[in-house]
Amino acid sequence: MRSRPLPFDPIVRAAELWAERIGPSGTMAAVTSIMRVQQILQSAVDGALRPYGLTFARYEALVLLTFAKRGSLPMRVMGERLQLHPTSVTNIVDRLEADGLVKRIPHPTDRRTTLAEITESGRERRAQATEAVTAVDFGLRGLTERETEQLTALLAKVRKATGDFIG
């Protein structure tokens, strides 16, 4: 984040110029705002997770495994739930395994499937990291609880309209 805030909103200014020179600017301003907020959130989350040696993707994987009834999931299922390519899941699990936070175990009934299982160290690290990211509200500041719910609902509409999920 910058040390001094700008004396004006550059996205509002860009929208004004866009409207003058190109055409309607509402969508451009909304998308540019979302992209900037994503940078702000990413910076806050990265800063909170860095002391724990985690990226957001690795943190999400630990949380997902914590939510699983047995603390383990097939890597294919992890990819589906995290909406990641299998190669990305493999890389995430490789790093978590190298740090002793997860371990790979064979599936009890399907020899073709490998499970990723969270370790006790992984549970501890996830708990510490969760305290850190929630202490900074995942970087999402300036909204009421109701506004946060509205924002989530609006973004879900965009996600659904683009086929991110059904339901």
Give the chain's count of helices (H) and strands (E): 7, 3
pLDDT given for residue 93 in this prediction: 97
Would you say residue 1 has pLDDT above 60? no
pLDDT of residue 167: 81
- Of the pLDDT bands very low, low, confident and very high (cuts 50, 70, 90), residue 2 is low
Are 68 and 37 members of one domain?
no
pLDDT, tens digit (0-9, with 9 covering 90-100), for 9-43: 999 999 999 999 999 999 999 999 999 999 999 99
Residues 38 and 68 reside in one and the same domain? no
Task: With respect to residue 146, please indicate whether it lies within any of the assigned structural domains.
Answer: no
In which band, very low, low, confident or very high, does the pLDDT at 64 lie, cut at 50, 70 and 90?
very high
Burial class (CB in 10 A: 0-12, 13-18, 19+), 33: middle
Q: Are 101 and 125 in contact (CB under 8 A)?
A: yes
Q: Tell me, what's the pLDDT at 157?
A: 96
Which whole-number Å values give the CA distances from 126 to 38, 68, 104, 135, in the listed order? 22, 14, 18, 14
Q: Are residues 85 and 126 in the same domain?
A: yes
Q: Based on the domain organization, do 70 and 42 belong to the same domain? A: no
Q: Are residues 25 and 94 in the same domain?
A: no
The phi, psi pair for 72, rounded to 5°, reads -145, 155
Do 90 and 131 fall within a single domain?
yes
Q: What was the pLDDT predicted at 29?
A: 97
User: What tokens were used for 56?
Assistant: 């957001």
Residues spanned by the domain of 24: 8-52
Mean pLDDT of 133-137: 97
Q: Same structural domain for residues 112 and 77?
A: yes
* DSSP element (H, E) containing 140: none
Q: What is the pLDDT of residue 111?
A: 85
Residue 74 in any domain: the answer is yes
Number of domains in the chain: 2
Q: Considering the chain, what is the average pLDDT of its residues?
A: 95
Nearest to 130 by CA among 38, 29, 58, 71: 58
Q: What is the CATH number of the domain that holds 84?
A: 1.10.10.10
Could you tell me if 102 and 87 lie in one domain? yes
Q: Are residues 44 and 95 in the same domain?
A: no
Region of 136 (left: φ > 0; alpha: ψ -120 to 50; beta: rest) is: alpha
- pLDDT tens, position by position, 104-122: 999 988 888 899 999 999 9
pLDDT at residue 110 in the model:
87
Residue 75 domain flag:
yes
Whether 152 is covered by a domain: the verdict is no
Shared domain check, 127 and 67: yes
